[in-house]
Chain A
Amino acid sequence: MKTLKTSWKHIRRSPYQAVAAVFIMMLTFLAISVFSFIVFGSSVVIKYFESKPQVTAFFKDTAQQKDIDTLEEELNQTGKIAKMKFISKAQALQIYRQQNKDDPLLLDLVTQDILPASLEISTNNIEDLGTISDMLKNSPDVSQVIYQKDIVSTLTTWTNAIRIIGITLIAVLALVSIFIMMTVIGFKVSQKRDEIEIMRLLSATDWYIRWPFIMEGIIYGIIGTLIGWVFASASLVYATPYLQTFLRGIPLLPVSPVFLLELLLGELFIAIVLGMAASSLAVLRYLK
């Protein structure tokens, strides 16, 4: 408790250095929070697509209903189909209207004629999607086949790229945080050189002198994390309605408070380790 009081006094007596240290920690943990959201979110999106083994075939306008029925029959005979749903032009228009009910301009522009009829197919196994997709592509009545595997692989490529950028950025920010905190705490140690010498002569142990400085680093870490986390979480909550429109149908938002809490605990752990590492390095360097 005394150590904490001493650390707090150090912080109060040099508020600008404290702000600098907290600010850099906040940036680091803001970046960690944002990239955690992206990584977590994209994994849910990918899982969503993976859990829906679906091929969508769009028919040409010239396709006859009996040809479509024949194709459906052929597909059923493979025994690989879990579910198959035919969507007529009229139904497609209905779905389109539902999705864009808030945008009258889009509703006016589209009629039943320009929307193709389609067949949505789910297979029992994701591996069978390839075979079904090939069968559909070979049909003369099918104009286009959308295959979820392409979406998943595109998403995965993007996610991996974002993950690499995120990890690099976080690593750089964490290093900068350590250096800035080392400088701030090192500066404070040299500012208090006289006081430290007197403390030593008055029977203070090395750890009695070191602990308040180490604790100071931990406090910067904790405060920076809390601010960064609150900022990132508040932004996410604020953006949730917009993102929900964009990610329609994907069960990602709103993000569970348990996830946010787990993220905070994880970040606090990292913050304590970072703060402790930076201040210990400073103390060992300046307080030999």
Chain B
Amino acid sequence: MITLDSVTKSYPTGNTALSDVSFSIDRGEFVFLVGPSGSGKTTLFRLLIRDTLPTSGTIMIGEWDIAHLPKKHIPHLRKRIGVVFQDLKLLRDRTIFENVLFPLEVANMNDQEAKEHVEAILEQVGIVDHRFKFPVQLSGGELQRAAIARALAFSPDIILADEPTGNLDNATSWEIVRLLQDINEHDNATVIMATHNTDIVNSLPKRLLALEHGKLVRDEVREKKHKKD
């Protein structure tokens, strides 16, 4: 599904965000991406949605070679990948319903069909009662759910969640992780979740990719599951 082969990303300033990173992720996998701040997690996500180009190496998503994808196909790629951004990127002057509807409007989907779809997604992520509220009226966990709902708008094959538990308390963090797990299991979507939360990472028997200074230092499947109290 996702294959990176010797991917390096350097910036003109001389900074190297990713260095010779290679891995492969199958459809339906749930992967934790860990590493300290500045280790290259966000850069990796930006490369996957073609928000930036690799300096060298190959990135394949399905049959698409991302670095050589014609510009006109980028919108198609971004429909296949739902992103939960670290800063959420919700539009403050639109309600939660309108925020989730937004990508469908962009895709020119039929109005009625789009509204029904959004209603179903909001139900799925558990914030249907907040649909007519504005982002400023929601708690951190609810905002994360709204961002996840928007990422689900196109029923994507891949979900990239960049630190979705970053500013949340432990209980809310677990709710978000369970929601992502649920999406992974029921929709068979590949989920890559970047996180700092070692408690969550250690508790779930999922694959772990660890980045440090832009290099992939660990790629393992964690078998042992710690029960959460």
Contact = CB atoms under 8 A, between A and B. Distances in A.
Interface in B65-84: 72, 74-79, 83
B106 A202 contact: yes
Interface stretch (A14-22, A33-41, A193-201, A226-234): A193-201
Contacts, number: 36
Interface string B75-95: 111110001010001010000
A198 B150 CA distance: 12
Interface residues of B, number: 21
Contacts of B75: 203-205
A2 interface: yes
Contacts of B103: 202-203
Interface in A172-208: 194-195, 197-199, 201-205, 208
B108 interface: yes
A2 B91 CA distance: 19
B89 A203 contact: no
A197 B102 CA distance: 13
A208 to B, nearest CB: 6
B154 interface: yes
B106 A201 contact: no
Interface in B141-184: 150, 154
A201 B78 contact: yes
B5 interface: no
Given A198-B89, A198-B91, A203 B78 contact: yes
| Best-buried of B51, B91, B105 by chain A (most CB within 10 Å) | B105
Contacts of A2: 105, 108
A15 to B, nearest CB: 16
A266 B32 CA distance: 63
A202 B108 CA distance: 12
B106 A199 contact: yes
A205 B74 CA distance: 8
B128 to A, nearest CB: 21
B107 interface: yes
Contacts of A195: 91
A198 B98 CA distance: 14
A2 B105 CA distance: 9
A191 to B, nearest CB: 11
B49 A201 contact: yes
Contacts of A204: 75, 106
Nearest to A198: B89
27 contacts: A2-B105, A2-B108, A198-B89, A198-B102, A199-B102, A199-B106, A201-B49, A201-B51, A201-B78, A201-B89, A202-B78, A202-B102, A202-B106, A202-B150, A203-B74, A203-B75, A203-B76, A203-B78, A203-B103, A203-B106, A203-B107, A203-B154, A204-B75, A204-B106, A205-B72, A205-B75, A208-B106
Interface of B: 49, 51, 72, 74-79, 83, 85, 89, 91, 102-103, 105-108, 150, 154
Given A195-B91, A201-B51, 8 more contacts: A2-B108, A194-B89, A201-B78, A201-B89, A203-B75, A203-B76, A203-B106, A205-B75
Cβ-closest 7 pairs across A and B: A203-B78, A203-B75, A202-B103, A204-B106, A203-B79, A198-B89, A205-B75
